């Protein structure tokens, strides 16, 4: 082949068909036929991208770490909300008792659950009311709201059920509270703790202490539903309120 014999070279490897012309044939011989060389086209036969085994192991490990961290964060968030609610209720009980002592008037701590107030956001709320006197029988409690309703953290509920033989105010009948807010008379039926002018527990009636159960959970159809730590245990804190001095004590340490 004339072109190749002169040091010619093939073009760059592109694949496809390349025609190579031949030199003029010697005199008296038949005309030489052109030579056609076919190169395979490998430009589209690349290996598909893939992860190596090491990369897959690293990705799986990262996902597992993030999952564990997320579960722990959710648990810590729920526990923190429960502790915050317990501390808030403890502080309000102490404030109610102190206010009753200093004003020489009955003070009511009202527990409003979803649906008890004209407006709510689906969370439990707690308010303090000062009464001029304690009514007889089942008459409404006409009081003055001492401060804005305190909304407990999201994910916190007050559970019914006694604790160690102690009655739970959540199991008692609701009391009707009437008060004025924004020049409107508001009526709400709430579970209550009432404190007398000596700093003792006035309601629920009786001679024994009572207990409140503050748990992680949510309200479904106005009913509290607790989150269980295990099949036989609820994530909760318990407050015992004395009868004579009406101070709150943590039963769960």
Note whether 62 and 33 are same-domain residues: no
Confidence bin at 242 (pLDDT 50/70/90): very high
- By DSSP bridging, strand 228-230 and strand 141-145 are unpaired
pLDDT of residue 232: 67
Q: How many CA atoms lie within 13 A of 141 on its CB side?
A: 26
Residue 7 above 60 pLDDT?
A: no
Place of tokens 């999952």: 67
Instruction: List pLDDT tens digits, range 69-123.
Output: 666 555 557 889 999 999 999 999 999 999 999 999 999 999 999 999 988 788 9
Helix, strand, coil: what percent of the chain each, to 5? 25, 35, 40
Note whether 31 and 143 are same-domain residues: no
Residues with Cβ < 8 Å from 41, sequence gap 6 or more?
A: 14, 15, 16
pLDDT of residue 210: 97
pLDDT of residue 112: 95
Note whether 27 and 78 are same-domain residues: no
Mean pLDDT score of the chain = 83
More confident residue, 148 or 3: 148
222 within some domain: yes
Note whether 10 and 128 are same-domain residues: no
Confidence bin at 194 (pLDDT 50/70/90): very high
> CA 249 to CA 238: how far, in whole Å?
8
Instruction: List pLDDT tens digits, range 35-75.
Output: 555 555 555 556 666 668 777 788 888 888 777 666 655 55
pLDDT, mean of residues 13-36:
53
48 within some domain: no
Asked whether 107 and 93 are in contact (CB, 8 A), the reply is: no
Confidence bin at 1 (pLDDT 50/70/90): very low
Instruction: List pLDDT tens digits, range 147-165.
Output: 999 999 999 999 999 999 9
Note whether 233 and 114 are same-domain residues: yes
pLDDT, mean of residues 22-31:
54
pLDDT, mean of residues 112-140:
92
Least confident of 12-26, 33-47, 222-236: 12-26
**DSSP code, position 44:** T
168 within some domain: yes
Domain count of the chain? 2
More confident residue, 6 or 66: 66
47 within some domain: no
184 within some domain: yes
Domain containing residue 215: 54-250
Task: Determine if the pTM surpasses 0.85.
Answer: no
Buried residues in 117-126 as b, exposed as e (16+ CB within 10 A): beebeebbbb
């Amino acid at each position: 082949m004339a072109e190749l014999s002169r040091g010619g070279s093939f073009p760059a490897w592109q694949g496809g068909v390349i025609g190579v012309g031949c030199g003029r044939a010697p005199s008296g011989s038949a005309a030489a036929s052109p030579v056609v060389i076919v190169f395979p086209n490998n430009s589209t036969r690349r290996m598909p991208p893939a992860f190596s085994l090491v990369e897959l192991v690293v990705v799986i490990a990262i996902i597992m770490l993030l999952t564990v961290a997320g579960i722990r964060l959710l648990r810590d968030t729920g526990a923190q909300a429960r502790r915050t609610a317990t501390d808030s209720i403890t502080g309000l009980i102490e404030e109610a008792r102190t206010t009753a002592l200093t004003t020489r008037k009955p003070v009511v701590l009202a527990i409003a659950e979803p649906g008890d107030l004209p407006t709510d956001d689906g969370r439990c709320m707690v308010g303090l009311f000062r009464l001029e006197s304690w009514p007889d029988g089942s008459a409404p409690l006409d009081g003055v709201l001492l401060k804005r309703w305190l909304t407990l953290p999201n994910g916190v509920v007050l559970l019914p059920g006694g604790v160690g033989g102690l009655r739970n105010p959540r199991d008692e009948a609701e009391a009707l509270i009437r008060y004025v807010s924004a020049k409107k008379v508001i009526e709400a039926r709430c579970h209550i703790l009432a404190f007398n002018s000596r700093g003792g527990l006035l309601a629920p009636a009786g001679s024994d202490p009572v207990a409140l159960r503050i748990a992680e959970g949510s309200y479904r159809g106005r009913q509290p539903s607790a989150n269980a730590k295990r099949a036989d245990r609820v994530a909760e804190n318990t407050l015992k309120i004395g009868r004579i001095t009406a101070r709150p004590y943590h039963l769960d340490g």
